[in-house]
């Protein structure tokens, strides 16, 4: 990542992702200090100071980890090309204000990118807190819930580079070398060796299991798409945590007895329940199967009973969408990386600073949000925008209002939900990774467009300062695959007294 300098390229992050993150830093500095949204306003003439290695400009670069040693500066110049002088100008002009004169790192919008801040966070962690390993961690929704409840994440693993980059950026409390990208079957031995002297208290994870929609139980268990579940079991067997928590799609209930047997085989008594996120203050109808197992003699059913007996506030879609500025669908094809005042930006100033509601207070922990991330509407053609505009909240593809222009009319018995307009006064339908293809099943209740990644993230209970990295479409994938942090935190809270 950016905070490990140029030398991280090819090891921790690709060149493209490094440049993307540096560009994000440039946008944040510009928005925060100047309040300008137009990227062209960054064009300025360089000064002679830029070409030395001393001066106030370099101190922030070192603190942030963009430059690790003097040789990095030349490499940074070569890598960034024409953008380099813009970057230096902005950093020189405002670097001291951001990184030197203002010691309040907690309110700094660049804190997640800053190596110095990340080191300070790790030093502040309590040494005797329960420890967690997160397998198939994705963007880190489950980890976020446990971290906010006071657990220490000591290792995370996923095969997807974009998800790992998002995880690393948003989890400064986790050491970079403990966030491991790779196929779990290939890094399993490495993980075990790293934790040989530090046995985790809990192993959590949600292994992808696309085959669990099939009917035959044995075929389900043996389906090659579900082999990752068995890898989760093998890592638990090696690490020997006190507790395990595994999240998966509701369809995995069909093989629950076999899963329980597999956990018993490695020394864990386990139980499961199908939990709905809406019952835990998440404004979304999201049913997932949760397995809890332990080897310390705790009754897992007791944990589930406590979890389900707690009363939680019910929040609706409008609570999640409130105080985000209205947008229009993009009208330009292949423009997902372009910012726009009408269709949104990856990073922009929050025009509703200080405005909140009870749900936003929970996910943001009462912290003002000065910037908005990933609030950008995708492209839609004229037909879809016409369909979106005609539909009323609750309408599906078979609505009479769009019958004359419905493109799937001959197959409406199959595609009844191809289009669906959400209702403000209800919880949202399940946010899924399918949104990376289109958002026609997630039409905004009041605006003729699909949900933005930020809106989807709010529905999943991610805080507003959680930045999703990577291409525009992959932000949807990461969000849809995540465990809602609020739900994860409730599980963490109940188990904590038993660890």
- HEC string of 438-458 equals CCCCCECCCCCCECCHHHHHH
The 3-class secondary structure across 42-107, one letter per residue, is HCCCCCHHHHCCCCCCHHHHHHHCCCCCCHHHHHHHHHHCCHHHHHHHHHHHHHHHHHCCCCCHHH
Q: Is 170 left (phi over 0), alpha (psi -120 to 50) or beta?
A: alpha
- The per-residue pLDDT for 91 is 73
pLDDT recorded at residue 200? 96
pLDDT digit string (tens) for 305-343?
Answer: 999 999 899 999 999 999 999 999 999 888 777 889 999
* pLDDT over 70, % of the chain: 84
Tokens matching residue 205:
């994870």
Phi-psi label, residue 205: left if phi above 0, alpha if psi -120 to 50, beta otherwise? left
- Identify whether the C-beta of residue 311 lies closer than 8 Å to the C-beta of residue 498: no
* Higher pLDDT pick, 137 / 221: 137
Of the pLDDT bands very low, low, confident and very high (cuts 50, 70, 90), residue 127 is: confident
Q: Which of 37-51, 99-113, 211-225, 273-287 is predicted most confidently? A: 273-287
Question: What's the maximum distance between 2 C-alpha atoms anywhere in the chain?
Answer: 71
pLDDT at 197: 80
Q: Tokens for 286?
A: 């999201």
Domains of the chain: 2-116 (1.10.1670), 126-311+484-496 (3.40.50.150), 317-479 (3.90.120.10)
Q: What is the pLDDT of residue 51?
A: 32
Cβ proximity of 98 and 29 under 8 Å: yes
In this predicted structure, which of 189-198, 380-389, 474-483 has the lowest mean pLDDT?
A: 189-198
> Whole-angstrom Cα distance, residue 378 to residue 473?
9
Picking from 473, 465, 476, 481, the residue whose alpha carbon sits closest to that of residue 24 is 465
pLDDT at residue 99 tops 50: yes
pTM: 0.90
pLDDT score for 425:
98
pLDDT for the residue 275: 97
Instruction: Indicate which residues carry an active-site annotation.
Output: 209
Sign of the Cα pseudo-torsion (467, 469, 474, 478, in order): negative
pLDDT of residue 94: 61
Of all helices (H) and strands (E), which one includes residue 243? strand 243-249
Looking at residue 34, its pLDDT comes to 65
Q: Is the pLDDT of residue 240 over 70?
A: yes
d(CA 330, CA 419): 18
**pLDDT digits 0-9 by tens, 409-456:** 555 555 567 899 999 999 999 999 999 999 999 999 999 999 999 999
CA distances from 432 to 167, 249, 439, 475 (A): 18, 11, 10, 11
Q: What is the mean pLDDT of residues 122-128?
A: 86
What's the pLDDT band for 53 if we cut at 50, 70, 90?
A: very low
Average pLDDT across the chain, whole number: 86
């Amino acid at each position: 990542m950016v905070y490990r300098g140029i030398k991280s390229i090819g090891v921790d992050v690709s060149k493209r992702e490094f440049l993307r993150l540096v560009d994000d830093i440039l946008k944040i500095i510009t928005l925060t200090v100047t309040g300008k949204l137009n990227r062209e306003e960054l064009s300025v003439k360089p000064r002679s100071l830029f070409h030395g290695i001393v001066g106030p400009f370099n101190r922030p670069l070192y603190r942030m980890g963009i430059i690790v040693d003097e040789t990095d500066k030349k490499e940074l110049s070569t890598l960034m090309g024409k953008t380099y002088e813009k970057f230096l100008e902005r950093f020189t002009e405002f670097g001291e204000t951001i990184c030197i004169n203002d010691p309040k790192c907690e309110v700094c919008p660049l804190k997640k990118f800053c190596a110095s801040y990340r080191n300070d966070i790790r030093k502040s962690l309590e040494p005797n807190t329960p420890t967690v390993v997160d397998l198939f961690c994705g963007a880190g929704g489950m980890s976020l819930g446990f971290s906010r409840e006071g657990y220490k994440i000591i290792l995370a693993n996923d095969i997807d580079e974009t998800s790992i980059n998002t995880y690393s950026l948003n989890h400064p409390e986790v050491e970079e070398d403990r966030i491991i990208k790779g196929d779990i079957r290939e890094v399993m031995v490495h993980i075990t060796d790293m934790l040989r002297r530090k046995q985790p208290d809990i192993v959590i994870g949600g292994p992808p299991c696309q085959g669990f929609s099939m009917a035959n139980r044995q075929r389900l268990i043996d389906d090659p798409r579900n082999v990752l579940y068995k890898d989760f079991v093998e890592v638990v067997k090696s690490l020997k945590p006190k507790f395990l928590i595994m999240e998966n799609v509701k369809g995995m209930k069909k093989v629950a007895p076999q899963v329980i047997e597999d956990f018993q085989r490695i020394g864990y008594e386990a139980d499961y329940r199908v939990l709905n996120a809406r019952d835990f203050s998440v404004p979304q109808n999201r049913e997932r199967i949760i397995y809890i197992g332990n080897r310390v003699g705790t009754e897992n059913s007791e944990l589930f009973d406590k979890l389900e007996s707690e009363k939680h506030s019910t929040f609706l879609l409008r609570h999640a969408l409130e105080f985000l500025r209205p947008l229009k669908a993009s009208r330009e094809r292949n423009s997902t990386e372009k910012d726009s005042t009408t269709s949104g930006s990856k990073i922009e100033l929050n025009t509703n600073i200080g405005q909140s509601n009870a749900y936003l207070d929970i996910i943001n922990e009462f912290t003002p949000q000065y910037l908005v991330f990933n609030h950008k509407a995708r492209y839609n053609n004229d037909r879809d925008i016409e369909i979106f505009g005609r539909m009323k909240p609750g309408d599906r593809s078979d609505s009479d209002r769009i019958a004359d222009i419905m493109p799937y009319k001959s197959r409406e018995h199959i595609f009844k939900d191809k289009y669906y307009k959400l209702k403000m006064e209800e919880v949202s339908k399940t946010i899924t990774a399918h949104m990376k293809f289109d958002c026609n099943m997630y039409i905004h209740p009041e605006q003729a467009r699909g949900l933005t990644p930020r809106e989807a993230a709010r529905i999943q209970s991610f805080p507003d300062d959680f930045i999703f990295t990577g291409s525009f479409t992959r932000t949807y994938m990461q969000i849809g695959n995540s465990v809602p942090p609020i739900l994860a935190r409730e599980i963490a809270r109940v188990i904590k007294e038993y660890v």
